Structures are given as C-alpha cells and as structure tokens.
Amino acid sequence: MRRRDILAAGAATAGTVTLAAPAISQGITEWNMVMPWPRGTPGVGVNAERFAERVTAMSGGRLAINVFAAGELVPPFEGLDAVSSGTADCGHAPPYFWVGKAPVLNYFTGIPFGLTATELAAWFQFGGALELWQEVYDEFNVIPFYAGSSGVQAGGWFREPINSLADLQGLKFRIAGLGGEVMRRLGVNTVLMPPGEIGPAMMSGTVDAVEWIGPWNDRAFGLQRLAKYYYNPSFHEPGPGLEIIVNKDAYAALTPDLQAIVKGAAAATAFETLADFNYHNVVSYLPLLEEEGVQSLPWPDDVIDAMARETWAVLEDLAATDDHTRRTHESFMAFLRQCDRYAASFDTAILQLRHRALEQL
Amino acid sequence: MRRRDILAAGAATAGTVTLAAPAISQGITEWNMVMPWPRGTPGVGVNAERFAERVTAMSGGRLAINVFAAGELVPPFEGLDAVSSGTADCGHAPPYFWVGKAPVLNYFTGIPFGLTATELAAWFQFGGALELWQEVYDEFNVIPFYAGSSGVQAGGWFREPINSLADLQGLKFRIAGLGGEVMRRLGVNTVLMPPGEIGPAMMSGTVDAVEWIGPWNDRAFGLQRLAKYYYNPSFHEPGPGLEIIVNKDAYAALTPDLQAIVKGAAAATAFETLADFNYHNVVSYLPLLEEEGVQSLPWPDDVIDAMARETWAVLEDLAATDDHTRRTHESFMAFLRQCDRYAASFDTAILQLRHRALEQL
C-alpha cells in the first residue's frame, strides 16, 4: 500500500506525524482584510482577492478571509493603521503608502533606478531585507510579506513631447513616490491625486502629464486617448513591490499550519502577481502603438542624467533619516550595484541577444 | 468580537463555512516525491525539498511528502515514468528531461532565444500554456505545475577564446537541450553527461568546453579553475522552467483543501526558486571576475547570427512533430514576439537607464 490513510489520533500517538491543533479542535477563524483598491481592480485588487480566496481554500475554510475594498472598512490610506490596531487582521498595499510614518518604507517598495521586480524579491527573500523590513514594522505590531510587483512601470503620458530638460520646467505632472520629489527638484510642478481623478484631471487640463502603472492599467484608464507621447520606462518605479501585512496578534493566534498557509499564500500571490502584470502589460502594449497612434519614446539623455543626479541626492537625504534607514540604504545599494554588473552580462544581454536573433524572422 | 473561534461542527451545521472532509475525518496521506538531484543541491534540489516541507507544514502533517533524491527510488531520468505509474506521487524536474517521450516539452522548459523566466511564468499562468502542457501530460496521467526557473543561464566555460564561428568547429562541448542540437549543426562536437562528470571531463581534457547553469552553481562545481573564458549569456536557456508533476489519481484522492495546498505550494516554490537563483547568481558573479581571473565575454556577432539561424531551423523541425506541437510553437512564438517589442521599451530599457544612472556614483 503506497498511500496510507490513517487516523490522525493514531498517528499523533505513534509520534510519526504531529497534527496541528486546529485539525483537532476544528476551530474556525475569520479575518478581515483591507485593501486600498476598488474591488476587481486589475493586477493589484484581483491578486489581493485571490490571496484571500487561496487562504480560505487551502485551510478548508478554517481561516476565512473577508476582503474589504477601498473605503469599505477604512479609507485607502489608513490600511497600516487598521492592521496595526487590529481593526483589520491583514491588508494589501504598496509599502510606500505609509512613508509618512516611516520614510524607510521607500526602499521596500523600490527606489528610482533601483531593483527590478525579481531582484527586489531576491533581496527580500535571501538578501536580508525581510529582516530589515520586519524591524520597522515591529513598532506597528505588524508582519510584512512581499506580495509581488507590477513590474517595470511606464514613465508617463505627455500632451507635448519632452525634447530636453527645459521642456519639464513648470510642467504640471501627476507622479507618485520618490520620483515626484526628484521631478520637483528638476522644476516640475508635481501633483498627487487618487487614481480615479487621473483621467479627469488630464481631460480637463488640470495637469499636462500623468503617470499611472503600465500599458495594461493605463489603457484601462483610457489615458491613450488623452495624450499621445508615452515616455518609457518609468525611471522611478523599475519594479515596485506590494505587501501583505498581518497583525502580529492575529498571526500568533493561528496554529502553525495556518501560519504556514498565510506565508505560503503570500509567496504564491507574489508569483501570480508578477506573472499577471507581465502577461497583461505585454499584450496591452502593441495595440497602443498599432491601433491608437501612441508614440512610445525614450527619455532624452539630459533628462536621464538630471533625474539620476537628483535621485542620488534625494536618497542621501532619505538615508540620513536614522540609523535603520541608513543600514537599509546601504544594503539596497550594495545589492543594486552587484545586480547592475550581473545584468550587463545576463539580464540585459539576453534581451539584446534575443532581439538580434528575432530580427532574422 | 472581531475574530470568532467556533466549533467546526457548529459552523458546518450553520452552513456559513463548509469544512473540507479531512478536517473532519482527520485522515493522513503520505506521498513519495522523486527528484533527479542529489539531496541539498543548491537551487534545484533545495527548492524541491522546500516544496515538500511547505506542503507538510501547510497541511499540518495531513499530507506528508517524503523526498527521494536522485537514484533513491528511481534513476534520475525515470521521474516522469515513476509519477505516471504511481511508483511516486509527485516529482520535481525540468520538463525537457522527458523530451524523448514528447518533443513538445521543449517549449514548456523554454527554447533558445526564447522567453525569460518571468515571461515564461506569464505564458503559463495567463497565456494558455498550462492548458497546452496539461494536454500532453494527460496521456501520462500527470498534472504539471510550473515551479520556477534558474533564470538566465551562463553560456559556458571555454579553455580557449571563441573569436569567430570557425573556432567552434570540432570543439568538444558539453551542452544540454535544443542548444546542443543547434551547436551540432554548427559543427560542434556536442556531448551530454551527468552533472557529476562535468568537472572531471573538463579536468581530464575529454571535453574542451562545458556549460552548466549559472555563476552560483558553476562556481560550486569549481569550473572557474578549469577554464577562464566564460561566454555569457546562454543563447539557449534564457529562463528554463522547472516543473512539479503530480499523479492524477493521487491528486484526485485529495480533499479540495489539500489540492489547493499542493497548487499553492507549487506557486510559492516558483517564486522562491526565482528569487533564490537570482540572489545567488548575482552575488556569485563578481567574485569570479575579481578574485578568480575569469573573463566574462559576449558571443561574437557571427556566432550569434549562426546560432539564431540554426535555432529557427531546429524549431521548424520540432514544430512539425504533430498538431499539438505546432499549436504550442505558434502560441510560444506569438507571445515571444510581443515580449521582444515590449522589452525594448521596458525590461531592456530600464536596465540600460539604470546602468547609465549608476555610472554617476
């Protein structure tokens, strides 16, 4: 008999397999999960909902997660507070939503000219970053898990072409995160607004340019109908990370098998989110160019060099926040420098080699 | 009370949460898992073992997976047979190990100048490839899951530099997969041998060159002490996929929660495997150059063009195998072409942009 189905009680007595408590007590736990996205938002919202469904399915309903979309339980920008206080048991978001509370969280989302999605995952899982991240969330009574990335983001939609640094002066540009601060230092009139206002602001002329996510989500917003100059890629979001955060007490109250399920489901979500964004960004990109008259353009060299100069200055200011931020900065930059050297012969090189080969077809 | 712990029996009666059968019957299932790697092999073996540990932990021991390393239950190249017949319940391997049985499996591992690791994941999860893959494994009574990738592989270690196509003539080169067939058509004397013989064959002069995986695993084999010319990247393995295969009857015998655990653990393994290889390849690369006198070199242009020409010819022959292989070929190539166009403005562009920015530091 190659597969043995035996009674748990017998196995536990025999000591070969120890059953976790809930399989014996058959307790059921319900968790509330908050996310800052409207229900069904492609990429981010859908994958957060899949996480909840996966945990519920893997636990046979013993840990049932109820998802609350933006505003349903708490406002979008109060997710960390909610999970910290126990108003919610877990949440999904990009860590940079909470940089007002801890500037170091910029590094765990990713920085301008920083790590790509896979490199960020590598830094978290094997480069010591999860431990640095846990240090900052300890004070919020929260456990973080990396939950994937939207991949390389798009640079933004501009009504007029950007031919040099001078064209950025005074431009009203909706841009998020550290990239906004870099652009501000370059003379851009940066503004931030909730996702739902991006399209309307562009349509009404309140702004001259906007950046959102990438071809998939940008196209769903109809941005290609409001501006035709699409600058790519985003210098400031090369692979921004998402998080699943869990209240420490809620996690501690779980039996070891349910803890393993939460942890495993977060890793599965990271994988599926990466694949989801990659697939849909790729298939959404060419129709923009071929059917909707969009021009995808690279940034001018003087703009790149100025963005880089201000990025390193902004990061120096950020790293000076406190000792923990400095240590995180050093860890990030040390791995980034190695990734850059490695990519030249591997990640970048294979894409160039492949492009040359495909030109034969 | 924001978290309710109630008796399962009560919940099931109330109809709010339906408990899966095993939490009630408390049955325990043991699975045997085969892998073609020695126990503890970095990257491949360790992540296969982590899959087994994760399933056991997530199920609270209700599904306990025992791992059998290379040769312990069946020989390394008999993994599919073992899972197909039920000698093993599941297995870990690269799908191209079984191309002798079904040539189409080359596409599910990846082809020369093909999809990178993340792109391959995207094609599997959202591009219809899992369904094409399932079609071929149906006849083996097996269910496949994508289990991650070793990332962009290294091109190979050569005792002498390759300055042009002429230098490849008659060269004795250990190279695996479709890349071996391409090289054979270019006049290379290709040989295949088990991993354990790669180092000895290079040392004894039986071969002039070898390719294995990437900086992490190559360095562990000590290949940098046997040859100094390191050609990168591998033209033929841009992001080769790994699989976890499960016997259909064994899977069908599981309750839905344990099925969800197996599926979720495979996705978590895919994520961790990608991160593991990325991290360790990156940190293993620079010491080769800076401490061990290795020269990492690009392939000469005429070699690239010849490799590409023969690759497209080999793939035409492969696609002609049968209707299913043709459909798989068309699906792969259609997504590959879109990925190439997308990468030019996103994946490749961000790495080049970042490199330019880092040069300021």
Instruction: State pLDDT tens for residues B142-172.
Output: 999 999 999 999 999 999 999 999 999 999 9
Contact B261 A261 (CB under 8 A): yes
Nearest CB neighbour to A279, from listed B32, B127, B215: B127
Amino acid identity for residue B69 in this structure:
A
A22-149+239-279 carries CATH number 3.40.190.170: yes
Calculated CA dihedral for residues B118, B119, B121, B126, nearest 10 degrees: 130
Nearest chain A Cα distance for residue B58, angstroms: 5
* pLDDT of A2 above 80: no
> What DSSP letter does each residue of B262-306 carry, written as one string?
HHHHHHHHHHHHHHHHHHHHHHHHHHHHHHS-PEEEPPPHHHHHH
Q: What pLDDT was estimated at residue B26?
A: 60
Q: What are phi and psi of B70, to 5 degrees?
A: -45, 120
Please provide the DSSP assignment of B124-185 as one string.
Answer: HHHSSHHHHHHHHHHTTTEEEEEEEE--SPP-EEESS---SGGGGTT-EEE--THHHHHHHH
Helix axes B347-358, A347-358, angle to 10 degrees: 140
Burial (CB count within 10 angstroms: exposed 0-12, middle 13-18, buried 19+), residue A320: exposed
If DSSP codes are grouped into helix, strand and coil, which group holds residue A222? coil
Interface contact flag, B283 A113, Cβ < 8 Å:
no
Out of A29, A214, A348, the one facing B351 most closely (by C-beta) is A348
| CA of B103 vs chain A CAs: smallest distance (Å) | 22
Residue with tokens 């399920």: A261
B contact test, residue of A247, A351, A356, A360 with most B CBs within 10 A: A351
- CA nearest to B59 within chain A: A257
Q: How many CB atoms lie within 10 A of CB A27?
A: 19
Would you state the structure tokens that stand for residue B29, as one six-digit string? 């299932």
The beta-carbon neighbor of A9 closest among B19, B26, B124 is B26
Contact state of B121 with A356 under an 8 Å Cβ cutoff: no
Q: Report the distance separating Cα B174 and Cα B152, nearest Å.
A: 18
> How do residues B6-24 score in pLDDT, each as one tens digit?
223 333 333 333 334 444 4
Give the pLDDT score at A1: 30
Residue A24 confidence (pLDDT): 40
Q: What's the pLDDT tens digit per position in A101-116? A: 999 999 999 999 999 9
pTM score: 0.92
Q: B215 to chain A: which residues are within 8 Å by CB? A: 342
Mean pLDDT value across chain B: 93
Question: B281: nearest CA in chain A?
Answer: A342
Answer yes or no: are the C-beta atoms of B253 and B93 closer than 8 Å. no
Q: 3-class SS at A88?
A: coil
Name the minimum distance, in Å, from the CA of A185 to any CA of chain B.
17
CATH topology of domain B28-150+241-279: D-Maltodextrin-Binding Protein; domain 2 (3.40.190)
Q: What is the DSSP letter of A168?
A: G
Confidence of residue A26 (pLDDT cuts 50, 70, 90): low
Contacts of B261 in chain A (CB under 8 A): 58, 261, 264
* Alpha carbon distance A265, A284 (integer Å): 28
- Token pair for residue A152? 């390389």
Q: Cβ separation of A342 and B19 shorter than 8 Å?
A: no
Nearest in space to A211 (alpha carbons), one of A239, A188, A187, A230: A230
pLDDT digits (tens, 9 = 90+) for B245-294: 999 999 999 999 999 999 999 999 999 999 999 999 999 999 999 999 99
> Mean pLDDT throughout B125-137?
98
- Across the interface, whether the CB atoms of B113 and A307 are under 8 A apart is answered no
Residue of A163, A301, A303, A304 whose CA lies nearest to A229? A163
Q: Do A54 and B260 touch (CB under 8 A)?
A: yes
Asked whether the beta carbons of residue A58 and residue B260 sit closer than 8 angstroms, the reply is: yes
Question: Which residue in the set A64, A298, A308 is minimally distant from B360, CB to CB?
Answer: A308
The C-alpha atoms of residue A223 and residue A217 are separated, in whole angstroms, by 9
What torsion do the CA atoms of B91, A346, A237, A330 make, to the nearest 10 degrees? 100
**Does B195 score more than 90 pLDDT?**
no
- At A219, list the tokens: 């196209």
A27-to-A22, A208, B112 alpha-carbon distances in Å: 6, 56, 52
CA distance B75 to chain A (A): 19
Strand A156-158 relative to strand A209-210, pairing:
antiparallel
**Minimum distance, in Å, between the CA of residue B270 and any CA atom of chain A:** 7
Q: Which of B348, B356, B359 to mutate to test the interface with A (most CBs of A within 10 A)?
A: B348
Supply the DSSP string of B230-271, one letter for each residue.
Answer: EE-S-SS-SS-EEEEEEEHHHHHTS-HHHHHHHHHHHHHHHH
The whole-number pLDDT of residue B190 equals: 97
Nearest C-alpha neighbor of B217 from the set B291, B284, B158, B294: B284
Q: For tokens 């880092």, name the residue.
A: B358
CB atoms B353 and A235 under 8 Å: yes
Q: How many CB pairs lie under 8 A apart between chains A and B?
A: 356
Q: Tell me which of A310, A339, A347 to substitute to probe the interface with B (most B C-beta atoms closer than 10 Å).
A: A347
**Residue (of A118, A166, A147, A114) closest to A329 by Cα position:** A114
Distance CA A233, CA A214 (A): 9
Segment B315-322 shows an average pLDDT of: 98
pLDDT digit string, tens, across residues A210-233 = 999 999 999 999 999 999 999 999
Range A35-59 average pLDDT: 96
Cβ proximity of B236 and B112 under 8 Å: yes
Weakest mean pLDDT among A139-143, A167-171, B14-18, B195-199: B14-18
Minimal CA separation from B65 to chain A, in Å? 11
Residues of chain B with Cβ-Cβ distance to A61 below 8 Å are 11, 17-20, 257
A260 to chain B, minimum CA–CA distance in Å? 5
